[in-house]
A and B are shown apart, each in its own frame.
Chain A
């Protein structure tokens, strides 16, 4: 059962897709249940990946190998180490959450919708487990196709077309430069196998060029200021589940790429460009936090706060020490829970009132107490309150950054204050105050399904905040291994 665990994990969503394809369009409930069961099976199965994982070694585990294009020396290599195992878990977890959350809110083309999500699940597992730079690019890019459809077809407003275009073209422009860089690597080293490339050292000049090309792709995905324009648009227009996937996992593909490829393959380039990354990150943290204060769209606030958190992540990665990188991985995971949960909370409101304007909502605490509890909890988690998941990540990141650059740490701490400002102010505006009854006649608190969606995220957030050691233990050896290369 556990011999080819990764291949099975990739195959499970495809089996689900095949079953769904056979179900007639009218049997919506069957389609939904089938998609949900498939994603749940994938999640439970991926838990075994975590259980069977041996955290005493930095080697890649569960390796599988397939001859793919032998004439060009290209092969399919999949395996996980202490970093990627978390992202695979996060992907399978969030895909199930997404399918559950769109149970009632998606009311057209359900069949295609669930096929898109299961397909994304399979592609994401591939992205995080593949050990070949070229194949990584292939799957990194192919996520565009389902996501383009999800934003364009099931998006909410008329600007969705513009958003889908922006998402598609920004990402494509960034990543084609990476493609050229991969070809350069291929001709320099004769292979694109990641494990072999770890033993190849490029000249410093080449490293700088290659690092920049990879960075162009990852910076758009992360996104770092000034490449972040597509993100608020895409988030605002996408359906709730689309935003969850986008914020929860797709952004992590960029930071994961930075940790896995930019740091390990181009150590000199990474050291050379650390000041640039620091500059872009602190601009991201401060600028987007201030921008968040003046947004009037609920989803845009969370989208901009995502950019700010991703700024923390990049600071942590390029602090180039153990605390920094481990902290940034923790932030990535916690952001995967917290911002997804916030998007889900906004989705709850949107399902009831079909607007996301802040002015529309006041005094929700009086009529939706359980919802208020969830929203407040995740807002506090978002601002990095001690005991929540973000705190452990941000704390480690700032400790790591402090040892390499105190000024950057100082400015990043300003970002924490600002994030407290916008989170609390947002809570203040929509949860408290006087209830405008003449605007909203029909309030109902969260349903059982919505509680079932949100409570696992609460548990994860608390667990990671109170006892992050479980996560740190697993990634410890792998991160040390990356640092040894640098």
Chain B
């Protein structure tokens, strides 16, 4: 339990770098934005690019981390291959999200630079969540991440929807944090430890037949923690906040919510339930299977009736979480592999979707698009954009040979590997039903062109760059899937217990 200064600080250097530099960023932004002789400049673009720079340097520090497999700060944090991979994904996707939002902030007059800083702070929270190796560290990191996200959800203070979204998110998030904390305290009370490694040893030797009462309490604690996680992941039946928050928050924030936090929480779920609580596989597996079935069904059926784009994306996100939970609940190394595969491709598809949504506007008054019907006739006004969007949608519903198919394929392979045929059949059926609303969007863009045409303007340069990159990835992924597969294998191989 000794505190080794050198190793601990070197291992955690990306997080520390961001935390330190962000103070400078705040000082810089506060001084300049309130300076009268510069005429109170609007710093949002400037601060965004600075934030992207910070994240980029943190990314470089992260991937060149010399210490791998280190447990630091009195067994509070772990830095292994998985955490480095997930942190890189988070840093990159946050960078992309920030750049995508520049255009949106300009048109919507969202001139508060604070949201960039809050988002970067949330990223620090997520990085700590991924690295956490102790229930207390985990809880504190989750709170850091959540609080920043509550604030950015209600960023648009004068909008009813945005404040409602922030409040809803806060209340339900606080409730789930309460459940999480209760679960942690139950575990601590009955095992006497909060450290993952020690908990793992306790659970791998636990004998439920001997001490039924104690083990029931432990199971209860584990389930509370699981439910807290499922809240954060917006898995059904704990999903009710997601559509409202997605709809109410400004789209740039919605993009952040949709793209970034899921992988952090998911990697925590994998670490907890495929390593720490693996000894208690049976009780949590049932809950996870139930939740994944419910999420797939709710995500699909809910999305069928939506008329607003962002609500539809929220429900489709719930459905996708259901597929990812299949991978986790299979409790095998293939399942974990499939889950990370799925979420990385999901992130790329979501980036592509939001690069469109954040940037297209009606010609003339430049008002943003809110309803699905606003997309009709996109094929006439902007055929390339319509084709890119169609590719993303086909990929989301898992039509081969696009990348979305492969993510679903690995999920179903892992389910069938563990002989969970029922889950696989439900997954396949809901993916067919889900294709219905994805192709409805394609229908709106391509086939309704004779009836209604909205003249839409083209994307900004950054957004179209990201969109084209994502689409090319989705289309050509099947030619050479080996690199991503290898990276993932390297990162999760130590879960083979």
Contact = CB atoms under 8 A, between A and B. Distances in A.
A139 B486 contact: no
A249 B435 CA distance: 25
Nearest to B405: A138
Given A68-B481, A165-B439, A180-B412, A145 B399 contact: yes
A163 to B, nearest CB: 11
Contact of A169 (B394, B416, B432): B432
Interface stretch (A147-155, A417-425, A443-451, A467-475): A147-155
Contacts of B416: 180, 183-184, 187
Contacts of B45: none
Interface stretch (B212-220, B313-321, B357-365, B423-431): B423-431
B223 to A, nearest CB: 30
B432 A139 contact: no
Q: Among the interface residues A68, A138, A177, which one has the most CB atoms of the partner chain B within 10 A?
A: A138
Interface string B459-486: 0000000000000000000100110011
Interface string B48-80: 000000000000000000000000000000000
Nearest to B413: A183
B412 A169 contact: no
A161 B412 CA distance: 31
Q: Say what secondary structure dominates the interface of chain A.
A: helix
Interface string B406-426: 000100110011000100110
Interface residues on B, range: 20 to 34
A172 interface: yes
B283 interface: no
A320 interface: no
A234 to B, nearest CB: 14
Contacts of A395: none
Interface in B272-298: none
A237 B416 CA distance: 39
Contacts of B409: 179
A142 interface: yes
Contacts of B481: 68-69
Interface in A132-165: 137-139, 141-142, 144-145, 148-149, 152-153, 160-161, 164-165
B428 A177 contact: yes
A25 to B, nearest CB: 9
A145 B394 contact: yes
Interface residues on A, range: 35 or more
A176 B428 contact: yes
Given A68-B481, A145-B399, A173 B424 contact: no
Contact of A180 (B424, B442, B443): B424
A161 to B, nearest CB: 5
A112 interface: yes
B436 interface: yes
Contact of B432 (A109, A112, A164, A172): A172
Nearest to A74: B481
Contacts of A141: 399-400, 405
A153 B401 CA distance: 22
B447 A164 contact: yes
Contacts of A72: 413, 485
A160 B401 CA distance: 25
A109 B482 CA distance: 36
A148 to B, nearest CB: 7
A351 B421 CA distance: 51
Q: Say what secondary structure dominates the interface of chain B.
A: helix
Interface string A37-78: 000000000000000000000000000000111111000000
Nearest to A112: B383
A133 B405 CA distance: 15
B443 A161 contact: yes
B446 interface: yes
B435 A69 contact: no
A160 B447 contact: yes
A180 B447 contact: no
B447 A161 contact: yes
B423 to A, nearest CB: 11
Interface string A177-202: 10110011011000000000000000
B425 A180 contact: yes
Contacts of A160: 447
B489 interface: yes
A183 B416 CA distance: 7
A138 B400 contact: yes
A416 to B, nearest CB: 37
B434 to A, nearest CB: 10
Contacts of B413: 72, 183, 186
Given A148-B439, A152-B446, A69 B432 contact: no
Contacts of A164: 443, 447
Contact of B400 (A71, A142, A180, A183): A142
Contacts of B442: 148, 152
A168 interface: yes
Given A68-B481, A69-B481, A180-B412, A173 B432 contact: yes
Nearest to A161: B447
Interface string A110-148: 001000000000000000000000000111011011001
A464 B383 CA distance: 44
B497 to A, nearest CB: 20
B486 A152 contact: no
A274 to B, nearest CB: 26
B431 A176 contact: yes
B443 A152 contact: yes
B383 A187 contact: no
A176 B486 CA distance: 27
A229 B435 CA distance: 19
Contacts of B486: 71
A169 B435 contact: yes
A169 B443 CA distance: 13
A82 B194 CA distance: 67
B417 A139 contact: no
Q: Among the interface residues B390, B399, B489, which one has the most CB atoms of the partner chain A within 10 A?
A: B399
Contacts of B387: 112
Contact of B485 (A69, A112, A142, A180): A69
B485 A71 contact: yes
B326 to A, nearest CB: 13
A70 B412 contact: no
A138 B478 contact: yes
Contacts of A144: 399
A149 B401 CA distance: 16
Contacts of A68: 481-482
Interface string B88-130: 0000000000000000000000000000000000000000000
Given A71-B489, A172-B435, A149 B482 contact: no
B14 to A, nearest CB: 29
Nearest to B424: A180
A187 B429 CA distance: 21
Contacts of B425: 180
A152 B412 CA distance: 31
A187 B418 CA distance: 10
A168 to B, nearest CB: 6
Interface of B: 379, 383, 387, 390, 394, 399-401, 405, 409, 412-413, 416-417, 421, 424-425, 428-429, 431-432, 435-436, 439, 442-443, 446-447, 478, 481-482, 485-486, 489
10 contacts: A68-B482, A112-B383, A148-B439, A149-B446, A153-B446, A160-B447, A176-B428, A180-B416, A183-B412, A187-B417
Interface of A: 67-72, 109, 112, 137-139, 141-142, 144-145, 148-149, 152-153, 160-161, 164-165, 168-169, 172-173, 176-177, 179-180, 183-184, 186-187
Given A168-B439, A176-B428, A176-B429, 7 more contacts: A69-B482, A139-B400, A139-B401, A141-B400, A149-B390, A165-B436, A173-B432
Q: Which 10 A-B pairs have the closest CB atoms?
A: A138-B400, A176-B428, A183-B416, A152-B447, A141-B400, A142-B401, A142-B400, A161-B447, A138-B401, A173-B432
